[in-house]
Amino acid sequence: MRSGFIGLVGRPNVGKSTLLNAIIGKKVAITSDKPQTTRNIIEGIRTDEDTQMVFVDTPGIHKPQNRLGKILNKQAYFTVNDVDVILFLVDITEKLGKGDMFVIDILKNVNIPVILVINKIDKLPKEEILKKIDEYKDLYNFDEIVPISAYKHDNIDRLIEVLKSKLTDNIKYYDEDMYTDKPVNFMVGELIREKILDLTHEEVPHSVSVVVEQMDYKKDAVDIKATIIVDRENLKKILVGKNGNMIKEIGTRARLDIEPLLNKNVYLELFVKVIPRWRDREKFLNEIGFKEFNFDK
Ligand code: GDP
Ligand code: MG
């Protein structure tokens, strides 16, 4: 069996999570129209008769703003240097900008194949797609350029064929029925966070974190308690909503996604807690899973 690690690199919002889900065929990464949705490296695994691909989703390479931003950036660099192939994803409707040049500069220092994936081609007519491909051709000596629509699953098969041709390892890293190596409580928290992103506006997303505090497995159901953490009182108000309507809606939608994940009925209890400036709190970052960076308590 041929296998390998594939790094997904690209600015926020270009469609990395959507592509990952399209390739894996399951929801392994949450997606959103708000930038910086992905906070952890999420591995999606795709196994067929003769190949295994292990995908590493990056939070995007961007300018760090606070401590959390810095950690995200570290993860992005880690990814670039630690994989066998890089998928550099761009959004065809966005102008080439500083952000892209920044990424291309980083890619100049890596010695592995880089595949340019031009996403969201469903949004433009054919002639313009070809023009864009030409623009990118001049920037860097990409191994391959593959235009796709992650959202409409257009040309994903072609991308998979291209990827297969770049894999060189000779080992099966994971069982064939595994499609992620994330613990189930992390996946549950991510699904809740996705519903919050879907249902709220600009001011909320960046300061929200979900901690799954309890998963109690009963005979044919699971009792889940999770806390949504925000850094301001007014955000708590928004999340609870009038008569608790918002939190109820978040819970209902999340439950509908969590039940197929666990294959059980789910009773989901959500709480909202205010912790001021949580993003800069080292201890707190530790508790929500950024353990690999070893903050001192
Ligand atoms: P990420 O930040 O790179 O992980 O981006 P996401 O996967 O979260 O996608 C950002 C937004 O772009 C979401 O609203 C997606 O639905 C949308 N999107 C992703 N791929 C496509 C595509 O191929 N076509 C269109 N029209 N929208 C897409
Ligand atoms: Mg993402």
pLDDT tens readout for residues 13-32: 899 889 988 998 877 777 77
Residue owning the nearest CA to atom 26 of ligand 1: 120
Q: Whose CA is nearest to atom 2 of ligand 1?
A: 13
| Mean pLDDT calculated for residue range 289-297 | 37
pLDDT at residue number 36: 58
Q: How far is the CA of 201 from the centre of ligand 1 (A)?
A: 17
Which atom of ligand 1 lies at the shortest distance from residue 14's CA? 3
Q: Where is average pLDDT lowest: 34-38, 172-176, 233-237, 276-280?
A: 34-38
Which strands, in side-by-side order, build the sheet including 265-274? Answer: 209-217, 221-230, 265-274
**Between 281 and 96, residue with greater pLDDT:** 96
Model confidence pLDDT, tens digit, residues 258-279: 998 888 899 999 999 988 877 6
Output the pLDDT for position 223. Answer: 94
Q: Which ligand has the nearest atom to the CA of 13? A: 1
Per DSSP, the chain holds a count of helices (H) and strands (E) of 9, 9
Q: Whose CA is nearest to atom 6 of ligand 1?
A: 15
Identify which of 161, 179, 171 has the alpha carbon closest to the alpha carbon of residue 44: 179
C-alpha 276/C-alpha 283 separation (Å) is: 13
Q: Would the pTM of this model clear 0.85, i.e. be above it?
A: no
CA 19 to ligand 1 centroid distance, Å: 8
Residue 165, pLDDT > 90, answer: yes
Mutate to test the pocket of ligand 1, among 19, 31, 94 (most ligand atoms within 8 A of CB): 31
Q: How far apart are CA 165 and CA 126, in angstroms?
A: 27
Question: Which residues are paired to 149 by β-bridges?
Answer: 154
* Mean pLDDT (whole number) for 151-172: 94
Q: Is the CB of 151 under 6 A from ligand 1?
A: yes
Q: Which of 233, 231, 242, 237 is nearest to 209 (CA)?
A: 231
Q: Indicate which residue's Cα is closest to atom 17 of ligand 1.
A: 15
Residue 47 burial (C-beta neighbours within 10 Å; 0-12, 13-18, 19+): buried
69: number of Cβ within 10 Å: 16
Residue 98 pLDDT > 50, yes or no?
A: yes
- The helix (H) or strand (E) run that includes residue 65 is none
